[in-house]
Amino acid sequence: MTPESLEPGGVDRREALCTLLRGTCALAALGCGGDWRDAVALPGPEPVPDAGPAPAVCEDAGPPGTPEEGWVEVPLSEHPALREPGGHDRVRVPAALLDVVVVHAADGCYRAIWRTCTHGDCEVAWDGALGVVECPCHGSRFGLDGRVLQGPASRPLAAYRTLRVGDSLFLLRPR
């Protein structure tokens, strides 16, 4: 190592470039940087496997918790499609790291599931005619509880507890 090869602060330029090159090769070997990548799934409540169809009675009752506990208020005035059973909408609250599909199910309950497919980073959408959440990229289908109904996805979507109070919907996004 010669003084000419050192950057200010004592960093060897050649060694820094070699380290950067090794890291790039490691990422390439892992498959990063291709056209397709695994979705980044933020942690959420674990769905119950093989839970069967959602109950006919809404289970959530009582007041929601605080924002510090992860409760996010969604005014229905901002999502009028959610007022009637069968309505659905994308609910996105960046400050709460929340991006979900919310469906006002036929039984009058609300269901909210993560909007990014666990197979390939595509945005899923509610298909009311089929009664499923579907990924347009590869055809994965999910139930309103987040479980996989049809692959290629093998991991469920995170499902979030919902509660309607007055003219607002509250979603629990655990911190």
Write out the DSSP string of 60-87: --S----GGGTEEEEEGGG-GGGGSTT-
**What does pTM read for this prediction?**
0.63
pLDDT for 8: 59
Per the model's pLDDT, the better-predicted residue between 14 and 152 turns out to be: 152
Mean pLDDT of 137-166: 89
Q: pLDDT tens digits, residue range 61-98?
A: 668 888 888 899 999 999 999 998 889 999 998 888 88
H runs (alpha helix) in the chain: 13-29
SS3 state of residue 4: helix
Mean pLDDT of 98-113: 87
- What the block records as the tokens of 47 is 């769905």
How far apart are alpha carbons 163 and 111 in whole angstroms?
A: 9
Mean pLDDT of 12-40: 52
